[in-house]
Amino acid sequence: MNERHAPYLMDTKATFDCATFGFDNARIQEALSVLGLHAEHAKLAERIRSEATEGEAEALVHSCCVALARERSFALIERSMGIECFTQTWTRHLRDYGQDFDTPKYFGERLAIAAAFVRAKIPLGILQLQHSLTQQALINNLSVKFADDTATLRPLIDCILKLNSLDVYLSAEGYRLPQIDELRKALTRLRKETSHWHQEASTDQLTGLMRYNTLMETLDHHINMAHRGHDGRSGSPLCVAMIDLDFFKKINDTHGHVVGDFVLKHVAGRIQAAVRDFDMVGRFGGEEFVIIMTSTHLELAKVIAERIRKGVMETPLHLKELSIPVTISVGVAMLRPGERKETLIERADKAMYKAKEAGRNRVMLAKDTGGTGDTGDSETLPEL
């Protein structure tokens, strides 16, 4: 091997000491803590290797290199390090993706690679683009494999984002570029991408609301918070509203499912416009929606639910030559001491069906005693 390539394709025995870059064990642990990397991510990284890189590392690197080659500075790699050396190291890192990320060896190798780039006068942007392409390739690979299993996909994507953040951080520390603005831009892009993937994993694509799994996790969290109370001793009120579109099947049968999708998006928008900034709205499934209202007693939840009902009723969907009136039935339940989400949702759901039985287009409350009561609103559904 040409000696000029040796600093990049490193023997682990010759790996730079982390201390050379100011990384002792305490600083390593500090960096991992800030990025939220824990022991559980080692198992996730192992899953990523088995699902995304095992037997596919060379192909992934090849596809990434094709994209990276479009960067004008890429020619510097050929002149100073050699493409073969560069891709071999990249492939090795993919095969070992995330392995021993909490060790001085892992930190030292990545700091040394950045230092080799400095010596070769290759811009930091190339190294960061390499990390970005790796992240994108892994996420795309896993997103295809787990397209219908977001519960598995989300923690894997979260692990990739965290490990990529660590690699970007070590690149910057090892490179020590004086141009802080360039680093700031790279981190901004990373934050936007992180936000994008978290949003993709937790958002219903049709309505823009929380997906079912995210909704249930959020409800679980806030129920636990409500039971503990803000002072750690007494409970805090929490209400849930279950919303169902009235005669949605008739809308689909009359106007078609494409129009039905527009109706769902329209109603989701009216709900979001009527709730408070801190209320949480999710799609429960089909034409059903759920609102989580923290620090909210039943009477206030009733007012909010009624505002939502009126907002939907008074704003028909206008689509080309169509004007489609839409109404909703709403059931509201307040969390009882010690109650879990399943029974809370069940009570709100029963109240919602009581609203339908009473004529639709109204709000019904699930009483604390277990019964149901009407808000007193008796407006009926306009004829479609």
- What tokens were used for 317? 């969907």
Residues forming beta bridges with residue 319, ordered by sequence position:
322
**φ, ψ of residue 210 in degrees (nearest 5):** -60, 140
Q: Is 247 left (phi over 0), alpha (psi -120 to 50) or beta?
A: left
Q: DSSP of 116-178, one letter per residue?
A: HHHHTT--HHHHHHHHHHHHHHHHHHHHHHTTT-HHHHHHHHHHHHHHHHHHHHHHHHHH--S
* Nearest-angstrom CA–CA distance, 341 and 314: 32
List CB contacts of 351: < 8 A, sequence separation 6 or more: 242, 331, 332, 333, 364, 365, 366, 372
DSSP state of 270: H
The residues annotated with a catalytic role in the active site are: 287
Neighbours of 229 (CB within 10 A): 12
Q: What's the whole-model pTM score?
A: 0.49
Place of tokens 């689509």: 319
* Nearest-angstrom CA–CA distance, 280 and 291: 6
Query: Could you report how far apart the first and last alpha carbons of the chain are, in Å?
Result: 78
Give yes or no for a contact between 348 and 333, defined as CB atoms under 8 angstroms apart. yes
Largest CA distance in the chain: 85
* pLDDT of 72: 80
* pLDDT of 184: 64
Q: 3-state class of 245 per DSSP?
A: strand
* pLDDT of 43: 95
Angle between helices 150-175 and 124-145 (to 10 degrees): 170
* Nearest-angstrom CA–CA distance, 176 and 194: 24
**Helix, strand, coil fractions of the chain, as percent rounded to 5:** 60, 10, 30
* Nearest-angstrom CA–CA distance, 32 and 44: 15
With residue 241 as reference, give the H or E element that holds it: strand 238-245
Long-range CB pairs of 249-253 (<8 Å, 24+ gap) are 250/384, 251/324, 251/326, 251/384
* Nearest-angstrom CA–CA distance, 333 and 350: 9
Give yes or no for a contact between 358 and 295, defined as CB atoms under 8 angstroms apart. no
List the domains of the chain with CATH numbers: 3-202 (1.10.490.10), 212-374 (3.30.70.270)
Q: What residue type is assigned to position 121 of the chain?
A: K
List CB contacts of 145: < 8 A, sequence separation 6 or more: 51, 52
pLDDT along the chain (384 residues), means of 10: 41 52 87 94 95 90 88 81 85 91 91 82 85 92 92 95 94 66 70 74 88 94 86 75 97 95 97 97 96 97 98 95 95 96 97 97 83 42 36
* pLDDT of 115: 80
